[in-house]
Amino acid sequence: MRRFLVVGHGANTDGDFRLDDLPGTGGRMDIIAMSVSSALFLSHELRKEVEVWLVLMGGAPHTLKIIGSEARYLFPDERNIAGMIRTNLLRHREGKRETPGIYVSDMDFREAVESASEDSEIFYLKEGGKDIRSANISGNSTFVLGDNKDLTPEEEEMVEKIGARKIGLGKKSLHTYQAIVVANYELDRREESGTGAP
Ligand SMILES: C[S@@+](CC[C@H](N)C(=O)[O-])C[C@H]1O[C@@H](n2cnc3c(N)ncnc32)[C@H](O)[C@@H]1O
């Protein structure tokens, strides 16, 4: 299992953002939506072995889990994904069931990382980390990424405390959704050559 845990530091958690203003009223929900698309979508299908956990913190913290093997009615465009996020935040608030493959909770960053560490090894994707090409990555893995901002020093301390290893994707600073594409590519190549985890 491959999991991407993306922190949306300013991402709207009330579900009252406008789909035509994801960067503004959404609190950079554009980055979050593009990250989901990059993590889960192949050309004609969803990646069934991938999960995305979105830790949204531009309000009372909420964590949305999107499970590739279970998700339905999800399309790769930013607006559709942001709409699904909004719908599920609102359903959670109203005490209604989420749409298939999406689970909303009130977990904050610490709780989400601790929960992810129960069934996977945690890797912190960070410029300057150990090159992903030479890193030992096997078994269930969670890759933690910032949004337009890196993790705060407090968040870094939390991931370090649970033993996360820093992994780098080259010297250039990428957008979150670009970093996910590169990580998926590198991990796919390792898997195809039989040297790494899915
Ligand atoms: C836009 S970057 C965050 C801000 C960026 N560090 C800067 O100085 O502008 C978004 C996230 O993508 C990941 N990332 C970007 N480039 C990376 C790289 N070369 N190696 C590993 N992770 C990277 C990190 O998790 C980072 O927090």
Mean pLDDT score, 160-168: 97
How many domains is the chain partitioned into structurally?
Answer: 1
Q: Which residues pair with 41 in a beta bridge?
A: 46
The model's pLDDT over 26-48, given as tens digits with 9 standing for 90+, comes to 999 999 999 999 999 999 899 99
Q: CATH no. for residue 34?
A: 3.40.1280.10
Closest CA to 151 of 170, 133, 129: 129
Residue pair 186/170 in contact by the 8 Å Cβ criterion: no
Element (H, E) at 191: helix 176-192
161 — pLDDT class (breaks 50, 70, 90): very high
Rounded to the nearest whole angstrom, what is the distance from the C-alpha of residue 148 to the centroid of ligand 1? 8
Best of 109, 173, 175 to mutate for ligand 1, by most ligand atoms within 8 A of CB?
Answer: 173
- How does pLDDT run across 53-112, given as a tens digit for each residue? 999 999 999 999 999 999 998 999 999 999 999 999 999 999 999 999 999 999 999 999
- Residues contacting 148, CB < 8 A, separation 6+: 28, 31, 175, 176
SS3 116: helix
* Helix segments in 19-152, DSSP class H: 29-40, 78-93, 109-117
Q: Is position 198 within any domain? A: no
Query: What is the chain's mean pLDDT, rounded?
Result: 95
pLDDT for 195 equals: 67
- 52 belongs to a structural domain: yes
76 Cα to the center of ligand 1, angstroms: 22
- Ligand 1 test: best mutation among 4, 7, 31, 125, most atoms within 8 Å of CB? 125
Cα–Cα dist 83/22, whole Å: 10
| Beta strands 165-168 and 121-131, pairing class | parallel
Residue 151 has pLDDT above 70, yes or no: yes
Q: What is the pLDDT of residue 194?
A: 78
Report pLDDT digits (tens) over 108-133: 999 999 999 999 999 999 999 999 99
pLDDT-derived band at 138 (thresholds 50, 70, 90) equals confident
Q: What's the confidence (pLDDT) of residue 140? A: 96
Q: 198 pLDDT exceeds 90? A: no
Residue 196 is predicted with a pLDDT of 64
Q: Identify whether 197 is part of a domain.
A: no
Q: Which residue has a Cα nearest atom 18 of ligand 1? A: 127
Domain residues for the domain of 137 are 2-192
Rounded mean pLDDT, 6-15: 97
Q: Looking at this protein, which amino acid is placed at residue 154?
A: E
